[in-house]
Structure 1
Amino acid sequence: MRIYSWNVNGIRALYNKGEFFKLFEEEPEIVCIQETKAQAEQLSEELLNINGYSSFFESADKKGYSGVAVYSKKKPLMVKKFDIERFDSEGRYIELEYEDFILINCYFPNSQEKGKRLDYKIDFCDEILNYLEERKKSGKAVIITGDYNIAHKPIDLARPKDNEENPGYLPEEREWMTKFIEAGYVDSFRKFYPEEVKYTWWSYRTRAREKNIGWRIDYFCINKESEGILIDSGIRNDVFGSDHCPIYIDISVNN
Structure 2
Amino acid sequence: MKIATYNVNGVNGRLPVLLRWLQETQPDVACLQELKAPQDKFPLAAIQEAGYNAIWHGQKSWNGVAILTRGAKIEEVRRDLPGDEEDLHSRYIEGVVNGVLICGLYLPNGNPAPGPKFDYKLKWFDRLIAHAARLIELDMPVVITGDFNVMPTELDVYKPERWVDDALFRPETRAAFQKLLDQGWVDAIRKLYPDEVIYTFWDYFRNAYGRNAGLRIDHFLLGPKAAGRLKAGGVDRQVRGWEKTSDHGPVWIEIADK
Quick check: TM above 0.5? yes
Partner of 1:209: 209
Please state how far the C-alpha of 1:150 moved relative to its aligned partner.
0.4
For the aligned residue pairs, the C-alpha RMSD in angstroms reads 1.7
| CA displacement, residues 95-142 of structure 1 (integer Å, 9 cap, x when unaligned) | 002343211000000111123312211111121121122123320111
| CA displacement, residues 34-74 of structure 1 (integer Å, 9 cap, x when unaligned) | 000002312445434234221111123xx110100111132
Partner of 1:242: 246
Q: After the TM superposition, which residues 72-83 of structure 1 pair with which residues of structure 2 at under 5 Å, given as runs?
A: 72-73=69-70, 74-82=72-80, 83=82
Aligned pairs, number: 249
Alpha-carbon contact 1:40-1:48 (below 8 Å) kept: no
Question: Structure 1 residues 220, 152: CA separation in 2 closer, same or farther (over 3 Å shift)?
Answer: same
- Separation (CA, whole Å) in 1 of partners of 2:49 and 2:56: 14
Partner of 2:17: 19
Question: Structure 1 residues 114, 219: CA separation in 2 closer, same or farther (over 3 Å shift)?
Answer: same
- Separation (CA, whole Å) in 2 of partners of 1:29 and 1:196: 26
Long gaps (5+) in structure 1: none
- Separation (CA, whole Å) in 2 of partners of 1:67 and 1:78: 15
SS in 1 for 2:228: helix
- Separation (CA, whole Å) in 1 of partners of 2:68 and 2:138: 23
Partner of 1:52: 51
- Separation (CA, whole Å) in 2 of partners of 1:250 and 1:138: 21
SS in 1 for 2:55: strand
Alpha-carbon contact 1:109-1:120 (below 8 Å) kept: yes
Partner of 1:36: 35
- Separation (CA, whole Å) in 1 of partners of 2:4 and 2:238: 14
Counterpart amino acid of residue 181 in structure 2: I
- Separation (CA, whole Å) in 2 of partners of 1:30 and 1:252: 14
Counterpart amino acid of residue 54 in structure 2: S
Counterpart amino acid of residue 47 in structure 1: A
Question: Structure 1 residues 43, 229: CA separation in 2 closer, same or farther (over 3 Å shift)?
Answer: same
Long gaps (5+) in structure 2: none
Q: After the TM superposition, which residues 2-17 of structure 1 pair with which residues of structure 2 at under 5 Å, given as runs?
A: 2-15=2-15
Question: Structure 1 residues 217, 86: CA separation in 2 closer, same or farther (over 3 Å shift)?
Answer: farther
Please state how far the C-alpha of 1:24 moved relative to its aligned partner.
1.6
Alpha-carbon contact 1:53-1:72 (below 8 Å) kept: yes
SS in 2 for 1:179: helix
- Separation (CA, whole Å) in 2 of partners of 1:44 and 1:140: 31
| CA displacement, residues 194-252 of structure 1 (integer Å, 9 cap, x when unaligned) | 01101111122322111111100000111135311111121111112110000001011
- Separation (CA, whole Å) in 2 of partners of 1:99 and 1:30: 10
Partner of 1:123: 123
TM-score by length of 2: 0.91
- Separation (CA, whole Å) in 2 of partners of 1:205 and 1:79: 39
Alpha-carbon contact 1:100-1:253 (below 8 Å) kept: no
**Identity of counterpart residues, as a percentage?**
30
| CA displacement, residues 131-165 of structure 1 (integer Å, 9 cap, x when unaligned) | 12212332011100000000000000011111101
SS in 2 for 1:239: helix
Q: After the TM superposition, which residues 66-77 of structure 1 pair with which residues of structure 2 at under 5 Å, given as runs?
A: 66-73=63-70, 74-77=72-75
Alpha-carbon contact 2:44-2:54 (below 8 Å) kept: no
TM-score by length of 1: 0.92
- Separation (CA, whole Å) in 1 of partners of 2:198 and 2:49: 30
Counterpart amino acid of residue 79 in structure 1: V
